[in-house]
Amino acid sequence: MSPAPGDLFPTILVVDDDPRLLVLLADQLRDDGYAVVTARDGQEALRRLEAGWPDLVIIDLMMPGMDGLTLAREIKDRADLPIIVLSAIDAGDSKATLLTEVAEDYVTKPYHYPELRARIERVLRRLGDRVPRQTLVLGPDLTLELHQRAAVVAGQRVQLTPTEGRLLYALAASLGTTVPTETLLGRGWVDTDDADPSYVWVTMRRLRQKIEVDPNHPVHLLTVRGVGYRLVAAPVRDAGVAPSRRDASPGERSDPVDAGGDSE
């Protein structure tokens, strides 16, 4: 998945206290077309985040001062950025804790770069298109803060789960375009062998409860019967004109009950 010419290059923040490894890995990633930002410790990494969000973070677990786990938790408190942990320790319990709590993947040092590159590609592919970096205003009653995994609905802040955030990432990256249910299933449950479309239907119903002012008559999160879902901005209406339930396009439903094979 090395970026093609003309593509927006995914940005990777690499954090490691070993300067030789930091330079080596940064060079390898740049050779593959990624934009790379480096930091030698946790505090420097957090300062880098203030300057701009990367698409993915690679963190050394065993760093002096702020260790990798503490840094990963600090990052997740600020934004739901994907994290790959590098560690010389291949301990099952530690790995399980990291993968459950803060990390998308775990790579043991000394790393084999082709394997690490494949894992980076896998995580980015799982998350789909590049995540919108700024606040996404979809109407007077809905603002998405995807990097914070949150929404502001009618002035009230609502926190989203990691799965809800991943699905909204995919929908927001294709704003106004229908995203197939199977695509959303792959983005939300890539590691679940027995996942089926009902996972998406249930999560979308829950998302409507969170981000729609009237979940029974949604205006942002729409079902396209037998195909998938579409995230849209609220239509702009002339002053003095009373809103209808929604000016739906053919095949598109504004109610929360899916049809044509996409029933919740």
Q: Which of 227, 210, 161 is nearest to 188 (CA)?
A: 161
Bridge partners (DSSP) of residue 152 are 143, 157
What is this structure's pTM? 0.55
Q: Which of 3-12, 28-37, 48-57 has the lowest mean pLDDT?
A: 3-12
Report the side by side order of strands in the sheet with 221-224.
Answer: 179-180, 228-231, 221-224, 252-253
**pLDDT class of 119 with cuts at 50, 70, 90:** very high
Distance CA 63, CA 72 (A): 12
Output the CATH code of domain 11-127: 3.40.50.2300
pLDDT of residue 113: 95
On the question of a common fold for 11-127 and 136-253, the answer reads no
pLDDT of residue 255: 42
pLDDT of residue 12: 95
Mean pLDDT of 33-43: 95
Q: Which of 126, 12, 1 is nearest to 58 (CA)?
A: 12
Is beta strand 56-60 parallel, antiparallel or unpaired with respect to 11-15? parallel
pLDDT at 236 over 90: no
Cis preceding-peptide flag for 10 (omega within 30 of 0): no
Q: Hey, what are 27's tokens? A: 């060079």
- Mean pLDDT for the chain? 81
Q: Domain boundaries in the chain?
A: 11-127, 136-253
Tell me which residue has tokens 């037998």.
Answer: 226
Mean pLDDT of 115-133: 76
pLDDT of residue 262: 45
pLDDT tens digits, residue range 204-221? 999 999 999 999 999 999
Find out whether 135 and 60 touch, Cβ atoms under 8 Å: no
Distance CA 246, CA 219 (A): 7
Q: Which of 100, 83, 79, 95 is nearest to 148 (CA)?
A: 79
User: Which CATH number is 136-253's, of 1.10.600.10, 1.10.1840.10, 1.20.140.10, 1.10.10.10?
Assistant: 1.10.10.10
pLDDT of residue 249: 46
pLDDT at 103 over 60: yes
